[in-house]
Every structure is written in C-alpha cells, then in structure tokens.
Amino acid sequence: MRHYEQRESRDPAERERDLFARLPAQIAHAQAHAPAFAASLGHVDAASVTTREALARLPVIRKSELLEQQKRARPFGGFAAVGWGRACTRVFASPGPLYEPEGARPDYYRLARALFAAGFREGDLVHNTFSYHFTPAGSMMETAAHALGCTVFPAGVGQTEMQVAAIADLQPNAYVGTPSFLRILLDKADETGVRQTFTKAFVSGEAFPPSVREALAARGIAASQAYATADIGLIAYETSADAGMIVDEDIVLEIVRPGTGDPVAPGEVGEVVVTTFNPDYPLIRFGTGDLSAILPGLSPCGRTNQRIRGWLGRADQTTKIKGMFVHPAQVADIARRHPEILKCRLVVDNPLLNDRMTLHCETMAGDDALAGAIVTSIRELTKLRGEVRFCPPGSLANDGKVIDDIRKYD
C-alpha cells in the first residue's frame, strides 16, 4: 500500500468540501460540551461556519489563554468535552503546566499516518525513547505504532548503557525519539562493539538539520520527522518526496498574521492555527505559536493535501521596550488604523544603549501627514514614542516577524 489510506490522494476540492461539511457539527459539539467554547462561541451559529472565510471570523485560542483558564478551572480550563472516566484514559502535563487529556480511541493523536510515511509497518520492533511520564510524547508514538501493528519497546529517556544492551538483545529495526539521542545511542553502540540494527527512524522534538539526516543515512538509517503538539496531535509530516510537510487529513490548518486571527496571503509566513475534529478536546482555531507558510502546488509523493514549510520559529514576539511590553497584536492594531499600510514590522534597536523603535511600513506612497498620524497611533496604543520609516511594497522579509528585536549590549 502506497499511502496510509486513500483519503491522502483525493481531489483537494473534495477534501475541502468534506472538512467544511464536518466543521459545523464539531463547533456545535464544542459549544454544547466544552464550557470555555460555550462562552467564547456562544454568539456563533455553528451551521453557518462552512467556509474558511466564516472560520476566520471566529476568535483564536492561544496557549496563554489555555493556561489562564486552566488556573481557574482544573484540569482543562473548560476546553475539554470529557472529564475523569472511560473517555479520558490518561492526563498529561506540558510546561506551564498545561494539562491535556488522552482519550481511549486507538491512535488518539493520529500519528500513525506519519509513521507509515516514515516506512513503519506491521511487524516492526520500535525502540521508543520519548518520555512516558508527565508529557505525552511516549504515548503519542506508542499508540501510533500499535495502530500500525508494530511492537514497541518502551525505552523512555536516559540510561544509555541499558538502552544499548536492549538494542543488542532485541535488535529493533525502528527508532522513535529525538535525533540527538539517536546519535548518542549510535556512538555508545560503536564504543561498546554493539551492532546497531535500526533501518528507519522517526524523529521529533528538536531541529533535524540536513547534515544530521545525511549522517544517519550514511549509517543505513532512513529518518524523517513530523510536526505535532500535545494539544492537537499530528499537524503535518514528511514523506519520501522530501518536499515540505503534508498537512494531516483531520484538521483545518490556517496561517495567520501573528497577534491576530487574520489569514495571510498564500506563501506568506505566519502563525499556524489549527482546528481539530477531536471530540474529546475540540480545539477550534487553536494558535500553536509556531511560524510556518503554505507551499504552492502538490507533493511529488502523490498526496494531495496542503504542504507547509515546517517549523520556522515562534510567533510570540512580545518584546519589552523601556520597561513596557509591546505585543504583535498592538502592531497589528496600528496597521488597522491606517489602510495605507500594506504590511509593517516594528524594529527595535538601541543606539547609544537607548531603546528605539521604528515602524517600517510598506506603502504605495507615504508623506509627512501619514507619518505623523502613525506616530500618534504608536504612542496611543503602546504608550511609547516610535518613529516611522516608509518602504516599497514587497520589501519587508517574508519571515513572519512582526517585531524584530536587533538590540545589542556589547
């Protein structure tokens, strides 16, 4: 079988129709069973949210809001549709702490699709080195491997010598974990004369540069990665085509301007916002805080879903200037006040060690009157003095930065 399931190669228009035919029921479910969404989406007619344009009018829920809500209402801040019992088999903690439910459905995090694309098949023995306590990473990978018919050795983290001994005894052919720990295991195996038996690897949790991929390939290990979070599960994954990451079949992915819920132009870098169809944790327009961009065209591997460029940094660029925090949302509010601004970026530097902020604005034409009006908006919205610099359309970098802090303290 070439793909995990036939849905991966269907016509993109059919996929779009299917997703937005399913969406109203998911929104209604969240309104009915998750108190936080009953409050934030109480004014929304779920049956009318059948297009991307309608979805984009709903509020974005960000991790900071999840954290604040969870402090008020444990364990899930009203965003989950389940409590303790058969529907919630495990609860995990991520830094914050943020608590996430794991439901009883097989492959709860939907990562089997990504493991399949990485070459994992029934009968593989998977050496899983992700943590099995507090965070869900170990369970995310194990439940996906089980869905494919793999056997899993729950190695967890650390204890390098014991792990290499287990590799010698069990001879697993598949590895799951961070790329750095895989290299540690390979080095220890070389040091102790143990023949490593991995032929495939699925890595996540940290950067996976081409040099590391090539070094693993030289040792006979084909490795690939995915983009997933504890809240959402699988978002996108690599395939053998090595041409970006394919978006999962069971989410709606948007790229928005950081600090807002406004979708960016195709190809522009922005924050990844995801709507999931998970009935237990029905996150609607969840802002991941990660930057990425949509790639044009279809993957050569035959899968027809959207592709993204992968992880390109963090969207939360909140910066402290002269003792005041300035947020990307404030920069967006300044731009909304002035339709002449096509795109803008707040650059923060410190000549002579004095903080200075300059709003670089792409405009068709700028004059002193417009500059003065923008300066006034900067002061009103940030309570700080700022300068304005006009630049031609298309001149600002496409890197998702709304606030660029280039201060030096030498």
Instruction: Pull the structure tokens for residue 350.
Output: 């410190």
Q: What is the CATH number of the domain that holds 36?
A: 3.40.50.12780
Domain span at 155: 6-243
Quick check: is 198 in a domain?
yes
DSSP state of 96: T
Q: Answer yes or no: is pLDDT of 409 > 70.
A: no
Q: Return the SS3 of 22.
A: helix
**What percentage of the chain has pLDDT greater than the value 90?**
77
Q: Which of 190, 222, 243 is the last residue of a domain?
A: 243
Residue 410 is predicted with a pLDDT of 60
What is the Cβ-side half-sphere exposure of residue 270, based on CA atoms within 13 angstroms?
23
> Is beta strand 343-349 parallel, antiparallel or unpaired with respect to 403-405?
parallel
Cβ atoms of 102 and 136 closer than 8 Å:
yes
Whole-angstrom Cα distance, residue 201 to residue 217?
A: 10
At 304, the amino acid letter reads T
Buried b (16+ CB within 10 A) or exposed e, 295-330: beebbebebbbbbbbbbbeebbbebebeeeebbbeb
Q: Are residues 238 and 326 in the same domain?
A: no
Q: Are residues 87 and 195 in the same domain?
A: yes
**What percentage of the chain has pLDDT greater than the value 70?**
99
Q: What is the CATH number of the domain that holds 393?
A: 3.30.300.30
Q: Return the SS3 of 226.
A: strand
Whole-angstrom Cα distance, residue 244 to residue 267?
A: 13
Residue written as tokens 């937005």? 20
Residue 90 is predicted with a pLDDT of 94
Q: Which of 216, 243, 270 is the last residue of a domain?
A: 243
Residue 383 is predicted with a pLDDT of 87
Residue 351 is predicted with a pLDDT of 87
Summarize the confidence of residues 1-7 as an average pLDDT: 90
Q: Answer yes or no: is pLDDT of 176 > 90.
A: yes
Q: Are residues 238 and 324 in the same domain?
A: no
Whole-angstrom Cα distance, residue 34 to residue 194?
A: 52
Instruction: Pull the structure tokens for residue 101.
Output: 């439910």
Q: Answer yes or no: is pLDDT of 366 > 80.
A: yes
Nearest to 249 by CA among 272, 276, 273: 276
Average pLDDT of the chain, as a whole number: 93
Q: Which of 243, 277, 309 is the last residue of a domain?
A: 243
- How many CB atoms sit inside 10 A of residue 54's CB? 15
Quick check: is 297 in a domain?
no
Cβ atoms of 111 and 120 closer than 8 Å:
no
Residue written as tokens 């084909």? 222
Omega of the bond leading into 282 within 30 degrees of 0 (cis): no
Q: How confident is the model at residue 120 (pLDDT cuts 50, 70, 90)?
A: very high
